[in-house]
Amino acid sequence: RLSDAEETIVFGLRLPAVLPANGDLNVQVTAPEADRLDLIAQQLYGQASGWWALADVSNLIDPLAGVTTGLTLRAPAAGRLPS
């Protein structure tokens, strides 16, 4: 386990900055044009930069290829995102 001033690293991977919690929303991807995490984050949080929180909490290994129509994502409440 390594760490620096910003974050803790485990075997070269960043630990999730946002962990799953009871108040998380379940969001189902229903349209092919909305199958990008940045677009979903924009709709949920008003900012596309929240995409990584969706990937972390939903345990997506490859956020670029891991979102398909019909997938249910776990979305942290907007107030739990680091500013």
| Residue 16 pLDDT | 56
pLDDT at 2 over 50: no
Residue 40: burial class (beta carbons within 10 Å; 0-12, 13-18, 19+)? buried
Span 70-82, pLDDT tens digits: 889 999 999 888 7
Span 13-65, pLDDT tens digits: 555 568 888 989 999 998 876 778 998 999 999 999 889 889 889 988 787 77
| Residue 18 pLDDT | 82
